Amino acid sequence: MPDPVLYKTSPDGKVAYITLNRPESFNAITATLPQHLRAAVRRANADKNIHCIVLKGAGPGFCGGYDLKLSAENAERGHTDGSQDVSRGYDPLEDYALMKESTECFAELFHSHKPTIAQVHGAAVAGGSDIALLCDLVVMAEDAKIGYPPSRVWGCPTSAIWAYRVGVERAKRMLFTGDLISGREAEAMGLILKAVPRGELERTVELLVDRIKTVPVNQLWMQKRVINGTIEGQLASSQVLATIFDGITRNSPEGIAFQRIAETRGFKEAIKERDLPGRTEEYRKRWKSVL
């Protein structure tokens, strides 16, 4: 079984490259991937030579979120998305404890002493958007997609980072609709740092990293601490509420109906029924100009 997360350093030893490595399933999140990601970030932080961390995905995209084929279609609850066996009733504390572990693993990117940069191609969807947006900087391909479709049914982004990146109203617009937007639209919204043509993505990140790694490690840490300190308390409080609500969304009447569709007709059909209503070409054209 290949490692779900790969780790390597640049030839000069100043940059750590962490790669989500489940390309056959769009780097979908399994029960063990969050812990592997946290271990890789901590490894980079323990290396005195590392100045910054670049996170990317192997294969066709960055990360497609939690592995719904396991957690919804096959009902392997308690393994990948924090859901539990509710045959004896729903225990919100049990669900919270399970999902809190994953959230804290991803948040290692936010709390890392070394700056973290997400290099996004293909898509960063649902839990994959949590991972990307918890990085300090996000650079996307213009045609890549990002968003949190489970906010329609069966999910709440436990990272709770949206409002801190784009402000209250735009965050609500994204989570009320569950829409995916392009890298170009994400840059215009202020959700990410920059969007570039797909062929220029790696070089753009390389140029950014080349500039950052000329700054002393302690100086980078101090600048990051100052900025993070302005939102850490609020973010921690938001993540508690979001993680509790995430469990509730998966056990609400609509959440249970979603899972039953996934079990009987497949998760692709469940997602189609959840995400497509109202998502017409006219809608896309109307909103493209205001995003």
Amino acid (one-letter) located at 162: W
Question: Range with the lowest mean pLDDT among 68-72, 202-206, 216-220, 240-244?
Answer: 68-72
Full-prediction pTM beyond 0.75?
A: yes
CA–CA separation, 62 vs 64, rounded Å?
7
Structural domain boundaries, residue 199: 5-288
**Statement: residue 76 has pLDDT above 50:** no
Amino acid (one-letter) located at 90: Y
What is the predicted pLDDT for the residue at 82? 43
Q: Mind listing the pLDDT tens digit for each residue in 118-170?
A: 999 999 999 999 999 999 999 999 999 999 999 999 999 999 999 999 999 99
Of the pLDDT bands very low, low, confident and very high (cuts 50, 70, 90), residue 28 is very high
Cβ–Cβ < 8 Å for 105, 29: no
DSSP per residue, 48-113: TT--EEEEEESTT-SB--B-HIIIIIS--TTTSSS----TT---HHHHHHHHHHHHHHHHHHHH-S
What is the predicted pLDDT for the residue at 70? 62
The pLDDT of 29-38, averaged and rounded, is: 96
Cβ–Cβ < 8 Å for 72, 126: no
Number of domains in the chain: 1
**Statement: residue 89 has pLDDT above 90:** no
**Statement: residue 199 has pLDDT above 90:** yes
Q: Mind listing the pLDDT tens digit for each residue in 169-186?
A: 999 999 999 999 999 999
The pLDDT of 88-113, averaged and rounded, is: 92
Reported in sequence order, the residue ranges of 188-255 that DSSP labels E, i.e. its strands, are 194-196
CA nearest neighbour of 15 among 119, 103, 108, 106: 119
Of the pLDDT bands very low, low, confident and very high (cuts 50, 70, 90), residue 276 is confident
The pLDDT of 229-254, averaged and rounded, is: 95
CATH number at residue 278: 3.90.226.10
Question: Range with the lowest mean pLDDT among 74-83, 150-159, 190-199, 267-276?
Answer: 74-83
